[in-house]
């Protein structure tokens, strides 16, 4: 079986500037450059993105919102308490969304194709009509909508960023064709993502929230995956797996309070690759979100790329050895809320 891993990245992602001291700082793109260069030297294809088109953006964002963001071209603007533009941000955000679309195009172009888009700014907090939480365009939502418009009947988005992806959830909450699954610290920014938020109308049951108490360790996430996330994914049977890959649940991350090891990110990614192997011929697109400790970001990006580039194998979960029942509590709450829709 031919395997193909493509990395979609450009050093231009550093041109999205933020105020001094802001966590979403351009050095994150420089870390991505180093990791991408390392994998390129090992034979992984690295391609630059092209900008997302207006048609692609309009699948998830309002036209009026696109106009407001386009008016930031050439200017530094504060869009919300956390979200800033520099003169180049609009162009760079279009490249980030375009990279996510390209990752989907690569994954959908044949069996055993995986792609990672190393992008900034992140996307999962961006709502249909509002920039939020460092995010301008919802990269992953744009990618999922693109997949749906190009032949994917069912798309699963899994988001292991430490923050809940409010924007992604809201964009697809009434759509049974796009499953949104999130693990996140809760309660925490942005405030959404309670276990009882399961989707609406025809989309009821197709939003899966596993809110974890601060301090969760590797074993807690393993429990969330084995008790809730993997059972739902195996019943949903996606045609494409998209991963919102944020690394801010890492134990080194300065923004949040989770205690995941680098190996846990490889394990979660390996579990999702397994889902893709079983249900959709390995088709998987990974798009970066948060991750604010540069050392943890580099190590985690490397581990995730390694997981996607090597031969498929059972996910190897690390042991923290810390006693914690946060995972069990979260899994029970999620399973209770979702039991009308899925078997556990």
Question: What sign does the CA torsion over 29, 33, 38, 44 have?
Answer: positive
Least separation in angstroms between CB 121 and Zn ion: 12
* From 90, 106, 124, 125, the catalytic residue: 125
What single string gives the DSSP state of each residue in 193-205?
--TT----GGGTT
* From 24, 175, 239, 248, residue interacting with Zn ion (rule: CB under 5 A): 248
- Counting contacts by CB under 5 A, is residue 24 touching Zn ion? no
Count of residues interacting with Zn ion (CB under 5 A) = 5
Nearer residue to Zn ion within complex by CB, 82 or 161? 161
Least separation in angstroms between CB 109 and Zn ion: 30
Token pair for 90 = 């609009």
* From 79, 290, 299, 330, residue interacting with Zn ion (rule: CB under 5 A): 290
Least separation in angstroms between CB 108 and Zn ion: 27
Q: In angstroms, rounded to a whole number, what is the distance separating the alpha carbons of residues 181 and 169?
A: 9
* 8 A C-beta contact, residue 161 and residue 192: no
- Counting contacts by CB under 5 A, is residue 246 touching Zn ion? yes
* Beta strands at 155-159 and 178-185: parallel, antiparallel or unpaired: parallel
Give the footprint of Zn ion on residues 127-166 (CB under 5 A). 161, 163
Q: Which residue has the tokens 């679309």?
A: 101
Q: Residue with CB nearest Zn ion?
A: 290
* 8 A C-beta contact, residue 61 and residue 128: yes
Answer yes or no: 184 catalytic: no
Kindly give the interhelix angle for 89-108 and 139-149, rounded to the nearest 10 degrees. 40
Give the footprint of Zn ion on residues 160-189 (CB under 5 A). 161, 163
Catalytic residues: 125
Interface residues with Zn ion (CB under 5 A) are: 161, 163, 246, 248, 290
């Amino acid at each position: 079986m031919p395997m193909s891993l493509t990395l979609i990245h450009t050093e231009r992602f550093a041109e999205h500037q933020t105020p001094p001291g802001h966590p979403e700082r351009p050095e994150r793109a420089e870390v991505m450059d180093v990791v991408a260069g390392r994998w390129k030297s090992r034979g992984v294809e690295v391609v630059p993105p092209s900008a997302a088109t207006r048609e692609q953006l309009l699948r998830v964002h309002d036209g009026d919102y696109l106009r407001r963001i386009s008016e930031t071209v050439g200017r530094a603007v504060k869009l919300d308490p956390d979200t800033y533009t520099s003169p180049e941000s609009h162009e760079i955000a279009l490249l980030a969304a375009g990279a996510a679309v390209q990752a989907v195009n690569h994954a959908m172009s044949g069996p055993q194709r995986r792609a990672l888009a190393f992008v900034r700014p992140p996307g999962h907090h961006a709502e249909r009509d509002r920039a939020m939480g460092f995010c301008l365009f919802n990269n992953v939502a744009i990618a999922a909508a693109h997949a749906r418009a190009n032949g994917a009947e069912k798309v699963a988005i899994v988001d292991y960023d430490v923050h809940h992806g409010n924007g992604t959830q809201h964009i697809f909450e009434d759509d049974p064709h796009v499953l949104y699954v999130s693990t996140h610290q809760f309660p925490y920014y942005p405030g959404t993502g309670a276990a009882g938020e399961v989707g609406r109308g025809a989309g009821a049951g197709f939003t899966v929230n596993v809110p974890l108490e601060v301090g969760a360790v590797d074993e807690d996430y393993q429990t969330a995956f084995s008790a809730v996330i993997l059972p739902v994914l195996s019943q949903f049977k996606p045609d494409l797996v998209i991963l919102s890959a944020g690394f801010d649940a890492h134990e080194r991350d300065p923004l949040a309070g989770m205690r995941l090891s680098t190996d846990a990110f490889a394990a979660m990614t390996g579990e999702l690759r397994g889902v893709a192997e079983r249900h959709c011929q390995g088709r998987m697109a990974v798009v970066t979100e948060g991750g604010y400790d540069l050392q943890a970001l580099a190590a985690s990006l490397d581990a995730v790329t390694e997981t996607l580039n090597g031969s498929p194998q059972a996910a190897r979960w690390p042991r923290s050895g810390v006693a914690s029942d946060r995972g069990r509590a979260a899994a029970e709450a999620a399973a209770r809320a979702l039991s009308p829709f899925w078997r556990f």
